[in-house]
């Protein structure tokens, strides 16, 4: 068990009707925690690095190389994914580093431009043997640019997948990025309609704002890859804050960051168990 391609994790999950947890990495402790949680759950997992995290580190190589190293040492299958990349040079850098997949996000563009740009990036990635995710419908909340009421049309989704050749599709069904409360209401009927319209796995972004019973229901209705970031950041920050409050004289980052790492590992293991419930209408 070690570093694998994202398709090696997501495709079997689609066929068996199970959810795959995809968790964002901001720093090394996140990568270590997610893998520890996956090992505790004895489940495969996807480590994601967003374009915003790349900017924070000043480039993809430092955090990307560290995350790939953590994945290679894991006792369970781990994939490393570039999330929400809107810049082609960043995609190309991920391919050179050995990422297992990229999410190219041109959803803020008009439909025809999104179609063209995504098809070009998909061809580039497939030439390197790398799995590609795209977004259609503008999931709310990211950088304030997306319409919160946007929804993905199933017929357009089928056309988009057919023209671009992407391997997975992130869809807008009621979730929103960076939510601090679990109050998002998903359109489960729309998820089922999208699942019937396209053959590739569906991806739910903004899952931190979705109540956990609804997350499980989303898998039952046809979601496969479930992206979670803000919820883990809340767990990490809360544990660090509690540790520093308990010992105001503490200055060793290894001590308080370890508390955050342990909290994230616990949440990852728990969430992977939640997402493992089988979908009764799994793909053949």
Residues listed for the chain: 284
Q: Which of 83, 105, 153, 187 is catalytic?
A: 83
Contact 224, 203 (CB under 8 A): yes
Q: Among residues 4, 73, 62, which one has the least CA distance to residue 35?
A: 73
> Tokens 């660090």 label which residue?
240
The whole-angstrom separation of Cα 72 and Cα 80 is: 10
Q: Count Cβ atoms below 10 Å from residue 236 Cβ, excluding itself.
A: 23
> Which class for 91: exposed (0-12), middle (13-18), buried (19 or more C-beta within 10 A)?
buried
Contact 213, 180 (CB under 8 A): no
Q: Which residues of 114-148 are buried (b: 16+ CB within 10 A; e: fewer)?
A: bbebbbebbebbeeeebbbbbbbbbbbbbeeebee
Antiparallel, parallel or unpaired: β 202-204 and 20-24:
unpaired
The whole-angstrom separation of Cα 279 and Cα 223 is: 9
The whole-angstrom separation of Cα 193 and Cα 201 is: 13
Q: Is 242 a catalytic residue?
A: no
The whole-angstrom separation of Cα 92 and Cα 102 is: 10
- Sign of the alpha-carbon torsion through 124, 129, 133, 136: positive
Q: Among residues 9, 108, 2, which one has the least CA distance to residue 51?
A: 108
Catalytic residues: 83
């Amino acid at each position: 068990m070690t570093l694998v391609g994202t398709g090696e994790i997501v495709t079997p999950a689609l066929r068996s009707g199970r959810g795959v947890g995809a968790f964002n990495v901001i720093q090394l402790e996140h990568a270590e925690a997610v893998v520890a949680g996956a090992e505790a759950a004895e489940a495969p997992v996807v480590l994601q690095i967003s374009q915003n995290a790349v900017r924070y580190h000043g480039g993809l190589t430092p955090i990307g190389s560290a995350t790939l190293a953590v994945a290679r040492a894991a006792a369970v299958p781990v994939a490393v994914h570039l999330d929400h990349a809107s810049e082609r040079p960043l995609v190309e850098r991920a391919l050179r580093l050995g990422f297992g997949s990229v999410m190219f996000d041109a959803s803020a563009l008009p439909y025809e431009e999104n179609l063209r740009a995504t098809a070009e990036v998909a061809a580039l990635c497939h030439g390197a043997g790398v799995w590609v995710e795209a977004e259609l419908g503008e999931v709310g909340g990211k950088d304030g640019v997306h319409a919160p009421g946007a929804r993905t049309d199933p017929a357009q989704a089928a056309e988009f997948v057919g023209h671009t050749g992407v391997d997975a599709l992130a869809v807008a069904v009621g979730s929103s990025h960076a939510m601090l409360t679990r109050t998002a209401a998903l359109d489960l009927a729309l998820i089922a309609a999208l699942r019937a319209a396209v053959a590739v796995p569906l991806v739910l972004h903004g899952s931190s704002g979705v109540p956990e019973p609804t997350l499980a229901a989303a898998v039952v209705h046809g979601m496969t890859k479930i992206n979670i970031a803000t919820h883990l950041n809340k767990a990490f920050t809360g544990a660090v804050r509690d540790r520093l409050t308990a010992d105001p004289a503490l200055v060793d980052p290894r001590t308080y960051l370890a508390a955050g790492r342990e909290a994230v590992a616990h949440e990852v293991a728990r969430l992977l168990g939640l997402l493992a419930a089988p979908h009764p209408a799994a793909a053949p």
